[in-house]
Amino acid sequence: MRLQQSPASRRPASARERIDRTAYQLFSRHGIRAIGVDTLAARAGVAKMTLYRHYPSKDALALAFLRRREELWTRAWLQHEVERRARTPRARLLAVFDTFDQWFRRPEYEGCALAKALLEHGKRGHPVREAAVGHIETIRAFIAELARAAAVRDPDEFARQWQMLMMGCILAAYAGDVRAAKRGKKVAATLLAQEEGKT
């Protein structure tokens, strides 16, 4: 997802802002491991020592990127879009897939930055891996909150199933299936219907 700049801001971006923006764009699209510090500094238009003054290690920059991803992707985009598109909790759950459908069709669709971070940092206990897991849990908590409001019997278990479906759709779209969200929504509707049958 492209990082939006505020049109109201007319002052030149500071070195840190340029580093943050560049890291967000490059890490989102290519993953963290694929982008070296030299490339980041050059694309941000800063000296390597300037980058290290703001972020003493690449891992520190990666952690800042993941925090920003949660702020911009999870909260400012996904949650906002879901709430904008639907009014009831049940409809908002399904609206996740309508939101994804729009995302998947963008020319700059980049896939899931959190999944990429997990795959790149496979060692348990690595701070980047742990941060990615934490941000995935934030998304699941949002789904569980919607499920609770929709009177699902076991919101936490339901949220895990729902998130697995979400992540599968993201991967399928990354592999080229632009209709992945529409297919996922059909499965999601079945899950919801099963919940309604239990009440």
What pTM did the predictor assign? 0.89
Separation of alpha carbons 187 and 165, rounded Å: 8
Assign residue 47 a region: left if phi > 0, alpha if psi is -120 to 50, beta otherwise? Answer: beta
What percent of the chain lies above the pLDDT cut of 90?
A: 90
- pLDDT (average), residues 90-102: 98
**Which architecture characterizes domain 59-198 according to CATH?**
Orthogonal Bundle (1.10)
Spans of all domains in the chain:
13-56, 59-198
Burial 93-121 (b: 16+ CB within 10 A, else e): bbbbbbbbbebbeeeeebbbbbbbbbebb
Burial class (CB in 10 A: 0-12, 13-18, 19+), 14: exposed
Fold of 13-56: Arc Repressor Mutant, subunit A (1.10.10)
In which band, very low, low, confident or very high, does the pLDDT at 196 lie, cut at 50, 70 and 90? confident
| Lowest mean per-residue pLDDT among 7-11, 14-18, 47-51 | 7-11
